[in-house]
A and B are shown apart, each in its own frame.
Chain A
Amino acid sequence: MRNVYGYIWVMAAVSYAVRVLPLTLIRRPLKSRFLQSFLYYVPYVTLAVMTFPAILDATQSPVSGLLALLAGIAAAWMGAGLFPVALVCCAVVFAAEWFL
């Protein structure tokens, strides 16, 4: 087995490169309308894809995950901010898993 610290530094270097290269190399707004639009839509798609169905596996029971998803969507729809929505999701799971 190779040196654990060697592995950790390789992990760190690649993780950092992936994150920092676009931010440092793309220094101004892109000219292409398509790329601008693409990057405008990226956050919505990425975050939605990462949320569902993963939220169903994050909990002890998929039912509590589903309830948290619905409660979170409702709270965010009604204008609750980051912290309140997170709290609502937590509370729903915590309560639901008393019963499930």
Chain B
Amino acid sequence: MSENTKAFGEGMRDGVPIAVGYFAVALSIGMAARSVGLTPLQGLLASLLNNASAGEYAGFTVIAAGASYLEMALVILIANARYLLMSCALSQRLRPGTGLGHRLLMGFDVTDEIFAITIARPGWLNPFYTYGAMSLCIPCWGAGTGLGVIIGNLLPARAVSAFSVALYGMFLAVIIPPSRKSRVVACLVALSFAASYAASVAPGLSSLSAGTRTIILTVALAGGAALLFPVPAGEEAGKEGPEHA
């Protein structure tokens, strides 16, 4: 079995819990789409093309308000700006010769969850791992939205909470093991939890959207860590593990 086939299979395996969580969350997105008058096909299309929950919610409120396309572009830019940072981080983990086609395809589905599992891989990234996860996650996200428009959310509330927490579980599985290995990373994660909580209740900051708070805190905390604890040359990028691509 080739390296790429193996990576694709591993991506599918790691994509399963994401796809299940996406399906459950997408049902609610579909309900939001229906409430602003979208048809099932439009809901499906919006999800297949956007792959972003907060961004889609924000977009639907713009549609409901009948605002201009420019306003739509600005709202989506703000709601999704964190993907810009994630994409920058991914760019440093691709083998320098990686072709444009792979970059264009990987860029299509930089979501919180797929970014998380992709960046957690050791060494240079193999795009086929990401494609494996995308092959399950995108259809589930789109189908969940389309179905949500048609029938609403038919899952019991308890099941929806359980599945949406699965997505947070994936984040923990990505950030906790490196925290065990590096005291700097452990402190940074703890500080991020604390700062995120503080920002969610602080006057001013708490009125910003969660996406905007994420960007501000990421720039501040990752910037501070980079100043105080620069990563030794050779430890960043694709050099810390066995080469995978």
Chain A positions near chain B (C-beta within 8 angstroms): 1-2, 4-16, 18-30, 33-55, 58-60, 64-65, 68-69, 72-73, 75-77, 79-94, 97
CA distance A57 to B81 in the complex (A): 22
A interface secondary structure, majority: helix
The closest CB in chain B to the CB of A94 belongs to: B162
CA distance A1 to B66 in the complex (A): 5
Can you list 6 contacts pairing A with B, beta carbon distance less than 8 Å? Answer: A37-B230, A49-B193, A50-B210, A79-B177, A86-B166, A87-B169
Please indicate which of the listed interface residues B109, B166, B171, B233 has the most CB atoms of chain A within 10 Å of its own CB: B171
CA distance A36 to B235 in the complex (A): 10
CB distance from B143 to the nearest CB of A (A): 17
Which 4 pairs from chain A and chain B are nearest by CB?
A20-B107, A89-B169, A76-B176, A48-B192
State whether A21 touches B87 (Cβ < 8 A).
Answer: yes
How many residues belonging to B are interface residues under a CB distance threshold of 8 Å? 105
CA distance A22 to B85 in the complex (A): 8
The closest CB in chain B to the CB of A9 belongs to: B49
CB distance from B123 to the nearest CB of A (A): 14
Residues from chain B with Cβ under 8 Å of A4 in the complex: 37-38, 42, 63
State whether B162 touches A11 (Cβ < 8 A).
Answer: no
State whether A42 touches B91 (Cβ < 8 A).
Answer: no
Does B119 make an interface contact (CB < 8 A)?
yes
The closest CB in chain B to the CB of A20 belongs to: B107
State whether A15 touches B175 (Cβ < 8 A).
Answer: no
State whether B66 touches A2 (Cβ < 8 A).
Answer: yes
CA distance A60 to B30 in the complex (A): 20
Residues from chain A with Cβ under 8 Å of B84 in the complex: 18-19, 21-22
Residues from chain A with Cβ under 8 Å of B108 in the complex: 16, 19-20
Given the known interface contacts A39-B89, A76-B173, the answer about A45 and B104 at a Cβ–Cβ threshold of 8 Å is no
